[in-house]
Amino acid sequence: MNVIEVNKLSKHFGPFKAVDEISFTVSRGEIFGFLGANGAGKTTAMRMLCGLSLPTQGEASVAGFDLYKNAEDIKRNIGYMSQKFSLYDDLTIRENIRFYGGFYGLDDEQIKTKTRSMLHQLKLEKDAHKMVKSLPLGWKQKLAFSVALLHEPQIVFLDEPTGGVDPITRREFWSMIYAASDNGTTVFVTTHYMDEAEYCHRVSIMVDGKIDAMGSPTDLKEKFSARHMGDVFLKLARKAKRGDE
């Protein structure tokens, strides 16, 4: 079953084709790495898929909802986190969970149950009353990821979730991604760490608004005669003509 279907999706800003006829599908439980150089069009594409920006042309559905007609339904059925935007620093851990629970339409009983299980899983029971700003970045990111899954969305969009995180926590974070995927949640993730590209089931690489390559890390490495995903990325990114606009 495909939870994301994209067909010739484009977004133009005047004469500039930020996203130029991209097509792909992502299936249930898949970890899909969405790579590209700065300015290749990743953010624009991701904003459309999250229902935050209307396409210029093309079709797409996310979690079974049409991008043009049901943007609000999409927002309710996805989770989102990034390094820049995740939790409210001036609220405690418990308050953040309650806020997002309410935001996603969970009732009090559900919020209570979720809070308990989440604090237990993250071993944060004793810290629930602490302000989020007092947490180390790594904890914050793990908490943010759990919060993004609070309403059990079909898909979670992760925009550079591990930027700046220490190497051990970065790996713990990926264990959480695998666990979510095992539970059937689709994970759509961007990253600048090329080792993390290897952890995805499939990867797409955008160059100048188009998807230039797509496949499993093993297939891509074979196709481009590369030793690592980093080499595949460099080979493709070097072809970019428009620079990072």
Residues at the site binding another protein, with contacts judged by CB under 8 A: 36-39, 83, 131, 133-134, 136-138, 160, 163-169, 171, 174-175, 178, 192-195, 197-199, 217, 221, 228-230, 233-234, 237-238, 243-245
- Least separation in angstroms between CB 117 and another protein: 21
Residue 177 tokens, joined: 């991604």
| Identity of the residue, 160 or 212, whose beta carbon is nearer to another protein in the bound complex | 160
Residue 88 host element (H or E) = none
Q: With beta carbons less than 8 A apart as the criterion, state whether 71 and 51 touch.
A: yes
- Report the nearest approach of another protein to the CB of residue 65 (Å): 30
Residue closer to another protein, measured from CB, 58 or 217 = 217
Closest to another protein by CB, 28 or 171: 171
Question: Distance between CA 78 and CA 100 in Å, rounded?
Answer: 13
Give ∠ CA 15-18-21 in degrees, rounded to 5: 100
Q: What is the CA radius of gyration of the chain?
A: 18
Helix and strand element counts for the chain (H, E): 9, 10
As measured in angstroms, the least distance from the Cβ of 86 to another protein is 13
Whichever of 65 and 233 has its CB closer to another protein, that residue is: 233
Least Cβ distance, residue 133 to another protein (angstroms)? 8
What is d(CA 110, CA 167) in angstroms, rounded to the nearest whole number?
Answer: 34
